Structure 1
Amino acid sequence: MNTRELKLVNGCPKWCTEDHTAQAGEDRGYHTGTVRELRLPDGRLALEASLVLESDAPAPQLVVSGSLGSFIDDVQVLGSDAAHAFAADVQRFASHVTRMTETVRAAEAQVPKPKKHNPGQRTRSAWRETRLYLAERDGRRCFYCRTEFDRLKGVSIDHYVPKSVWRCNLPANLVLACRSCNVRKGDRLTWSMAAVLLAWARKENPQKAAA
């Protein structure tokens, strides 16, 4: 089992063994760890493993190189001593890869997860602005019963096409409504919208509509 140890530089990940003082400035964001090797009993290189962190990557990756064909294309007869030594080398190589994998997992766990963006969510201020816009667009009155609002605070905003049918919070699908009309309408389509959808369905599928 052979290893190639390089200089550890302050400020790098603890597993970094690059000598960044000898690298060009644009390459100093690149880090790599100690290269672990697995060699066959005759000395030929079978596998190499190391940790690599690119400058634009959030976490390191395990890089394994070599040719597994060496185990398939060549047949070697080993005595007990050679077989025991080779088995020990394989175990050491596997343990190094296991530790590298744990390092990758630990680093990935520390990477901040991006916040889930739900386009259906709005802040309170956004809803206040939307309420003002709808009042200017449709007038300060309930869209359904036409009752005028003395003030907009507390006036509900209704999804004209229910969210169960079209999950859209754009003003094109929003209207002002008094609470009683909003509750009465609930999660149902209005008669006018239902008629439009039925007419569209007949136009798109005339044979099915006739049946």
Structure 2
Amino acid sequence: MKKALFHFTLIILVLPILIACKKDPLEFTIKGNIYDESFNQGLENAQVTLTAVDANTGDVRIVGESTLNASGDYSFTFLRERDLKFYLKVEKDNYFPIDETIFFSEITTENDNIFNYTTHAKAFINFKIKNTGASDPNDQLKLEIYEAKTGCESCCGLGQRFFNGANIDTNLYCANNGNQYYKFIYWVPEISLVVFDSLITTPFDTLDYVIEY
């Protein structure tokens, strides 16, 4: 009886220690806001996907998927694993996508990890360039884009473009951020024509700009 009582007392004493030593699994929370700069509001109803890259195998798994609320907020809470980095992708029709990399070293289990990003509605400008004068193989039009969106698949990039010779009749189709300026200059040396101009590109639409010389 005394031996049984001793064992029972020992279990009572040891059990709290075992419970105290058992740790809850560690979790990460990655959250933030996606802002629509074209309309100065949260990017409502965009699709957000967070994926993780395993540090040992390089395998990619989906951590979470969600739809942005009316304020453009997102949040993912998940167990800590042996991950190297994370990819955050935000997509919405007629908006420039967001593809960001978050490294394991940038986040902590102690606090929420806040990552905010911005994007714009897609807009376009279509330069309609035509030589309407007398055909001359020495004709030249110079077009320089000096303020515009860069780095996207449909972006034209900054710098000069040259349209040489006769019978020029072409289009140059360029993407820009909606509700932002697209600034450029064009000139024709032979007739001393120099034009500085700019347009605010309309979200979800294409503006035609005619250059005839």
TM-score for the superposition, normalised by structure 2: 0.22
Higher helix share: 1
| Higher RCO (CA < 8 A, seq sep 6+) | 2
The structure having more radius of gyration, on CA atoms, is 1
Structure with the higher fraction of residues in strand conformation: 2
